[in-house]
Chain A
Amino acid sequence: MTLLLLLAILDGLAYAALVFMVAVGLTLVFGVLRVLNIAHGSFFAIGAYVAATLGTAAAATAAAPALALPVLLLAAVLVGGALGPVVEKLLLSRIYVKDHVLQLLVTFALFMVLEDVQKLIWGVQPIFQDAAVKALGPVEVGDIVYTRYQLFLLPGVAAVTLIGLMWFLRRTLTGRVIVAVTHDREAATAMGIDAQRVYLLTFTFGTMLAALGGALASPTTSLVPGIGVNMIVLSFAVVATAGLGQIEGAALTALLIGLGRSVAVYFAPEFEVVIPYIIMVVVLLVRPYGIFGSPELRRV
């Protein structure tokens, strides 16, 4: 019983870290661009696939164990750097003035396209590449043998991302410019800030975060079609529970939902998928704008 609970907590921590990586990108992009990007889930999946491909290629070289971790980061940078600017420039920049429903439809359409791009490139058979987990090896926690990768690396990266992002947004010039555009785009533009550039930058960075989440997830699971949709729905639950645009809040709710889900995995496996949404629905019933969100002003 206690053993199971400990396992559930360890799993929950690792899972929450992954969900947070994706959710924080989603909420950051929404906060700045005011567009909820459904294709964010595809960026996660593509990041995972590219990481697996690079990992397999790296495993064939002489320096295999040393390369297993760097290729994960490389995958995220490649995917974010290649897809982010293209999508923002060609697609999103056309729809900032349109209403929310059309924006949602556009990102949904992009999501449909990218889902099949994955199938065309990587096929529908499960892909498994866990060189990164093996490179770090196992660790004993009490009576449990756990992977160092999931115990230290995943929560570590998530924590560094959270702290780094807070520091970046509050202490650096670029970060403050982003915050300024978020608060009042017109005023910021009047001060001479190039809002287009801020959008491009933020979106590319958000894409990288999703791809990094995918890359980090890839050694711990088999990659099959459909991981993108599960992740976008789950990270939306996290982001909505926290309040759209809330970064620290997303970390907390990711933890809550990650732990809730992994406890369910061990104690009520049929309802594993339902738990995050029950948490979300309960929170939204009490606070319709999320735990940390505030109601938007209504126009008359």
Chain B
Amino acid sequence: MEPRLALPAAAGVALVVGLAAAAPWLKFVFTIALAKGLAVLGILLLLRAGQVSFGHALYVAVGAYTVAFARPGIGELLVLLPLAVASATAVGFLVGLFVARYRDIFFGMLNLAFSMVFYSLLEKLYTYTHGTDGIRVDRPSFAGILLDRVPYEWVMLALVLALSLGLGALARVFLASPLGQALPAIKTRETRLEFAGISARRVLLVAYVASAALAGLAGGIIAVTTLHVTPLLAYWTHSGELVFIAILGGGGSVLGPFLGAIVFELVRVYASAAFPDAWQMILGAVLLGIILFASRGLWGLYEDLVSRRGARP
């Protein structure tokens, strides 16, 4: 990671750990926020190709339900999370084979359709999923050790911080690679990409499967953090949230998703309690504002701030 990002990343980690130590309830909020940040990182990969998915909550739910189904038999966190990633990757590959043929409207809406189908299946197949009641997940062990609640929360936060840093760096390497560089080409002129001998469908499929894997990991983390999974994880509002965070954070940097996710979750803790029935409305209005007036998101604002200070004599 180049120094330009290393500094804000290190500052972010210090801030998260410091705040979580000062206010214990923030551990939970930050863990969920960073998990969502991982899913949004996947959305960012797709956004680079100019594609937006309104259905990535599908993979979050696949990851979470994988953990919920496997937990009675498997008690180890370090096995459960890879399982969640594996199943989301598999589903992402199958769905991706189909949706990677499409762009723009079809891409977005087909993803929405798949996620809503999965949602209603989770709701209706009561014998397996317990419908809207959801499934309780027992706290798993970490590296063979059963932890109490407070140390467990610290371990989860540390784990998700490490994952965010590692996968964020990996995403950066990926975006700089030839394959990653082909993504913006899909957005500008796909035909030219194909004239250069590169299959746009395959490039998009790789990004799509990666985004599904990231969302599945996020789902797994959410399941072992909230210790309860419900079909709501797959609902369209949840997919909308992921897209919202991606736009809020800004697509310019791999740190954007995490910045966006933390701001989003912090605001949500207060706002959704104060206005439970107007929460989507606030999100929608802010989303409109960002798209129409500040399209580079929070990260863009940060960059403006830094470059202005740098320009000063």
Contact = CB atoms under 8 A, between A and B. Distances in A.
A32 to B, nearest CB: 15
Nearest to B282: A116
A113 interface: yes
Interface stretch (B1-9, B47-55, B159-167): B47-55
Interface string A258-284: 000000000001100110010011001
A240 B106 contact: yes
Interface residues of A, number: 44
Given A109-B288, A274-B121, A233 B278 contact: no
Nearest to B54: A108
Interface stretch (A54-62, A117-125, A175-183): A117-125
B277 A112 contact: no
Nearest to A289: B106
B188 to A, nearest CB: 10
B51 A101 contact: yes
Contact of B280 (A116, A230, A280): A116
Given A116-B278, A300-B189, A101 B52 contact: yes
B284 A299 contact: no
A267 to B, nearest CB: 15
A104 B189 contact: no
Interface in A29-72: 36, 38
Contact of A36 (B105, B113, B278, B283): B105
Contacts of A102: 291, 295
Given A109-B288, A112-B281, A270-B124, A233 B112 contact: yes
A101 B50 contact: yes
Interface in B275-313: 277-281, 283-285, 287-288, 291-292, 295
Nearest to A239: B109
Contacts of A233: 109, 112-113, 116, 236
A171 interface: no
Interface string A94-112: 1000011110111011111
Interface in B3-58: 47, 50-52, 54
A237 interface: yes
A229 interface: yes
Nearest to A244: B105
Contact of B50 (A99, A109, A270): A99
Contacts of B189: 299-300
Label chain B's interface by main secondary structure: helix
B120 interface: yes
B277 A116 contact: yes
B114 interface: yes
A281 B101 CA distance: 12
Contacts of B195: 300
A94 B287 CA distance: 15
Contact of B277 (A36, A101, A105, A120): A120
Q: Which of B195, B281, B283 has the most CB of A within 10 A?
A: B281
A1 interface: no
A284 B283 CA distance: 33
Nearest to A123: B277
A100 B295 CA distance: 15
B271 interface: no
Interface of A: 36, 38, 91, 94, 99-102, 104-106, 108-117, 119-120, 124, 229-230, 233, 236-237, 240, 244, 269-270, 273-274, 277, 280-281, 284-285, 288, 298-300
Given A101-B47, A104-B108, A240-B110, 10 more contacts: A99-B50, A105-B243, A109-B287, A116-B284, A119-B277, A233-B113, A274-B117, A281-B98, A288-B102, A300-B191
Interface of B: 47, 50-52, 54, 98, 101-102, 104-106, 108-110, 112-114, 116-117, 120-121, 124-125, 189-192, 195, 236-237, 240, 243, 247, 277-281, 283-285, 287-288, 291-292, 295
A-B pairs, 8 with minimum CB distance: A112-B284, A116-B281, A113-B284, A109-B287, A100-B104, A273-B120, A109-B284, A119-B277
